[in-house]
A and B are shown apart, each in its own frame.
Chain A
């Protein structure tokens, strides 16, 4: 595997940080999650809970989440299983115990990378900041992943995905014209921030391979997002045309398609996207529809005309699409070469999407406490160094502390007696 031989001492929690190390794990890195039984990763104990076979757990709740303390086990939090594939191992060590800190330094000495997603200054308080890391491992690649990063006037600000999405313009860009933004229903920037965290790990490793030198790479949840808005920032700065203007954002309309958007299909709240980018796409769409007279009217004769009359065009097209099942229409349009796709939810992706199935997108894995779950794989396929959802060891996300003994034994050559003594001294908790 591409990152085989790379060891990451991983202090990340929640989504943003863990997304980065799951990618590294799927690519073959040995990711050792350093966890705590007294302060477990919140996503280990938050709903939705992975049910025992045959039962259904409690769904992710409303804005308060005050009922989220009910998990009996730190191994049932469903979101943990989204973000901790990649064969990550879990050890529990109390970093605030002097012997715990000492163990972590011993592990650092045999690792290549340190990743963490605490507030800035946390590792320094433990005595494990970058300077201390360097004293143990001079060429360590240290990747911090903190909402606002480790420098700048607002360093103490905290983020979750929706915070960063609001601040960087991405929330603003999900919405219909002249209405308040609708925003995202999930933490897009937990994903994107994590992707750039993985890029930072790889950049640090590549740089180290060339120069022999380590470094601190300071990843925030804001900077990975600023280039995602494409030309809009430039349009404002170069042309003086702000995005905050009447009629913008344009919902699902794009300058590159007409017609283009989500159209009602048969059934309750079922939709199909159609996006005609070329004259050919439009001509074929008209043919599939049986060449209705309205489609031949001059107001729809050219791309520019169709764009100018998009409201009328969308209404007429929807009268057609609403007659069909979304998948049936997708297939019919695709057979004719028209870009189209069903609006799929999570269940559709899992149960109805033949392409994801054919590509082996899901890998079913279980650990000692949860039943076999279909887990999403790394969406890139490398011909010589295939990634695996279960990492190098092809295993499911770890139970809390599952690997403490094995890691201390195998990497630090501690004896069973040593480990028992450390456990009795509450170092391994």
Chain B
């Protein structure tokens, strides 16, 4: 039996990227594309990032590299002359070169598309190919700051109304990941158009713009009310075992929300004054919200975090226990959906579990069969399959 075809089967992607855009290729590989990572002889910069397997550095031991390069192949080239035949044989070329550097190396949009009109070329850069900040230096932290995510994330004010802690960015390079995801979307859209009778084109992705596209209602709040959303605590219950549970109470979704909540609190014997029919009135609840919250806290004091999460959910409340990343791997629901994928690393004698498909596609399952590539592992293989001549500096 042959596997169901993947959405990007047969699509050849060449990536020449730093760590800011590797997540794009990871997504494209999962969708079935043949993603070839082009690296210099010493390896991509991300191969030097900690943590390492057993904390021993080495180009094939970086877990940061593994996380974002699973599913790709690695080809080592000495210079841009060796890169060109690969790009010529590809459908997609993703890079992280600034406009000036791309021009200098002859890898700018005009040069690439002039020679290969069917190519989808995509540049992911901090600020895009144009504008007054185009040549500014930025990493994920800078881009989380400029994009607006940081300003409203962090701890609330102290007694005098001022802040004794800084705005905070989420760990894990979220501006870069957002831009990488947008790059994958744009590449897929460009391929769809090309294959429907269009041509290749250039996709210019600015991480800054992608980062600025988040923050949900913050811009609308400013436009509507003139108010700026500032750092504030979120509704969080601490359970009997010390675990925290994000405890949203979306009263605005309708009267059933409070009715179901009350039934659960009464069953748990912690409803207290909420059983007073006056609380059926949303305005009364809003005025006396402290009572509602006190009942929730009484509930929290009785149960561990996992149970508290499930009790809230049993009443239709969107509660979630606050997990560390590794605790997600124990989630029975995700396991039942087949989310986690174990891949062999034979050279290390290990099998490693990776987070897998970002959605369940019943007709075209996520393609995740290759562990992250060793440096230059596929230079000869790709040269043969793609019919290009590559000097092989490492083997």
B7 touches A355 (CB 8 A): no
Which residues in B have their C-beta under 8 angstroms from that of A168?
323, 325, 328
Contacts A218-B362, A341-B145 hold; do A231 and B333 have CB atoms under 8 A apart?
Answer: no
Interface size class of B (residues with CB under 8 A): 35 or more
Stretch at the interface among A100-108, A172-180, A288-296: A172-180
A217-274 at interface with B (beta carbon < 8 Å) = 217-220, 222-224, 226-239, 241-244, 249-252, 254-257, 260-264, 268-269, 271-273
Which residues in B have their C-beta under 8 angstroms from that of A420?
none
A213 within 8 Å of B (CB atoms): yes
Which residue in chain A gives the minimum CB-CB distance to B230?
A269
B152 touches A345 (CB 8 A): yes
A152 within 8 Å of B (CB atoms): yes
B285 touches A64 (CB 8 A): yes
B316 touches A158 (CB 8 A): yes
B235 within 8 Å of A (CB atoms): yes
Stretch at the interface among B74-82, B87-95, B133-141, B263-271: B133-141
Which residue in chain A gives the minimum CB-CB distance to B8?
A206
A208-220 to B contact mask, C-beta < 8 Å, 1/0:
0111011111111
A274-301 to B contact mask, C-beta < 8 Å, 1/0:
0101000100000000000000000000
B60 within 8 Å of A (CB atoms): no
Stretch at the interface among A120-128, A181-189, A421-429: A181-189
A339 within 8 Å of B (CB atoms): yes
B185 touches A174 (CB 8 A): no
CA distance A376 to B192 in the complex (A): 24
B185 touches A199 (CB 8 A): yes
A50 within 8 Å of B (CB atoms): yes
B212 touches A349 (CB 8 A): yes
Stretch at the interface among B218-226, B373-381, B386-394: B218-226
Which residues in B have their C-beta under 8 angstroms from that of A56?
224-226
Q: What is the minimal beta-carbon distance from A367 to any residue of chain B, in angstroms?
A: 15
CA distance A254 to B201 in the complex (A): 36
A78 touches B362 (CB 8 A): no
A236 touches B359 (CB 8 A): no
Which residues in A have their C-beta under 8 angstroms from that of B191?
206
A79 within 8 Å of B (CB atoms): yes
A338 within 8 Å of B (CB atoms): yes
CA distance A361 to B150 in the complex (A): 19
CA distance A2 to B51 in the complex (A): 40
Which residue in chain A gives the minimum CB-CB distance to B128?
A359
Q: What is the minimal beta-carbon distance from B123 to any residue of chain A, in angstroms?
A: 10
B316 touches A231 (CB 8 A): no
A316 within 8 Å of B (CB atoms): no
B354 touches A384 (CB 8 A): no
B201 touches A384 (CB 8 A): yes
A190 touches B31 (CB 8 A): no
Stretch at the interface among A65-73, A86-94, A407-415: A65-73
Most buried by B among A23, A257, A277, A353: A353
B363 touches A213 (CB 8 A): yes
CA distance A383 to B121 in the complex (A): 10
B27-43 at interface with A (beta carbon < 8 Å) = 27, 31
A32-87 at interface with B (beta carbon < 8 Å) = 42, 46-51, 56-60, 62-69, 78-79, 81-82
Which residues in B have their C-beta under 8 angstroms from that of A137?
none
Which residue in chain B gives the minimum CB-CB distance to A375?
B219
Which residues in A have their C-beta under 8 angstroms from that of B323?
166-169, 172
Which residue in chain A gives the minimum CB-CB distance to B281?
A66
Q: What is the minimal beta-carbon distance from B263 to any residue of chain A, in angstroms?
A: 16
A78 touches B224 (CB 8 A): yes
How many A-B pairs have beta carbons closer than 8 Å: the answer is 568
A48 touches B325 (CB 8 A): no
Which residues in B have their C-beta under 8 angstroms from that of A60?
217, 221, 229
B199 touches A162 (CB 8 A): no
A335-385 at interface with B (beta carbon < 8 Å) = 337-350, 353-356, 358-359, 361, 373-374, 376, 378-385
B190 touches A2 (CB 8 A): yes
A342 touches B182 (CB 8 A): no
A1-43 to B contact mask, C-beta < 8 Å, 1/0:
0110100000000010000000100010000000000000010
CA distance A380 to B5 in the complex (A): 28
A239 in complex: contacting residue of B54, B171, B209, B320, CB < 8 Å: B54
B153 in complex: contacting residue of A2, A15, A184, A383, CB < 8 Å: A184
Q: What is the minimal beta-carbon distance from B365 to any residue of chain A, in angstroms?
A: 10
Q: What is the minimal beta-carbon distance from B210 to any residue of chain A, in angstroms?
A: 4
Contacts A65-B252, A148-B333, A383-B204 hold; do A234 and B67 have CB atoms under 8 A apart?
Answer: yes
B145 touches A3 (CB 8 A): no
B181-214 to A contact mask, C-beta < 8 Å, 1/0:
1111110111111011011111111101110111
CA distance A2 to B31 in the complex (A): 19
A219 touches B152 (CB 8 A): no
Which residues in A have their C-beta under 8 angstroms from that of B359?
149, 196-197, 199-200, 217-220, 223-224
Q: What is the minimal beta-carbon distance from B225 to any residue of chain A, in angstroms?
A: 4
Contacts A64-B292, A244-B324, A359-B131 hold; do A206 and B192 have CB atoms under 8 A apart?
Answer: yes
A217 in complex: contacting residue of B205, B318, B360, CB < 8 Å: B360
Which residue in chain A gives the minimum CB-CB distance to B231?
A185
A133 within 8 Å of B (CB atoms): no
B246 within 8 Å of A (CB atoms): yes
CA distance A230 to B228 in the complex (A): 31
Contacts A184-B170, A334-B136 hold; do A171 and B63 have CB atoms under 8 A apart?
Answer: no
Which residues in B have their C-beta under 8 angstroms from that of A269?
162-163, 230
B334 within 8 Å of A (CB atoms): yes
Which residues in A have their C-beta under 8 angstroms from that of B8?
203, 206
B51-98 at interface with A (beta carbon < 8 Å) = 51, 53-55, 62-64, 66-68
Which residues in B have their C-beta under 8 angstroms from that of A309?
none
A396 within 8 Å of B (CB atoms): no
B139-169 to A contact mask, C-beta < 8 Å, 1/0:
1111111111111111100000011011111
B214 touches A239 (CB 8 A): no
CA distance A323 to B270 in the complex (A): 52
A96 within 8 Å of B (CB atoms): no
Which residue in chain A gives the minimum CB-CB distance to B222?
A346
CA distance A383 to B165 in the complex (A): 43
Q: What is the minimal beta-carbon distance from B395 to any residue of chain A, in angstroms?
A: 27
Which residues in B have their C-beta under 8 angstroms from that of A344?
145-148, 151
A228 touches B54 (CB 8 A): no
A172 touches B152 (CB 8 A): no
Which residues in A have their C-beta under 8 angstroms from that of B289?
62-64
B143 in complex: contacting residue of A176, A215, A341, A374, CB < 8 Å: A341
A231 touches B64 (CB 8 A): yes
CA distance A158 to B144 in the complex (A): 28
B1 within 8 Å of A (CB atoms): no
B313 touches A186 (CB 8 A): no
9 A-B contact pairs sorted by A residue (CB < 8 Å): A67-B282, A68-B251, A172-B323, A217-B360, A228-B172, A239-B53, A341-B146, A342-B146, A379-B205
Top 9 closest pairs, chain A to chain B, by CB: A215-B363, A236-B326, A379-B209, A169-B325, A166-B320, A48-B224, A384-B201, A226-B355, A78-B220
* Contacts beyond the supplied A2-B198, A199-B185, A350-B222: 16 A-B pairs with Cβ under 8 Å: A3-B192, A48-B221, A64-B286, A67-B282, A152-B336, A176-B168, A210-B5, A215-B364, A230-B172, A231-B49, A232-B325, A256-B49, A261-B141, A273-B144, A339-B142, A379-B213
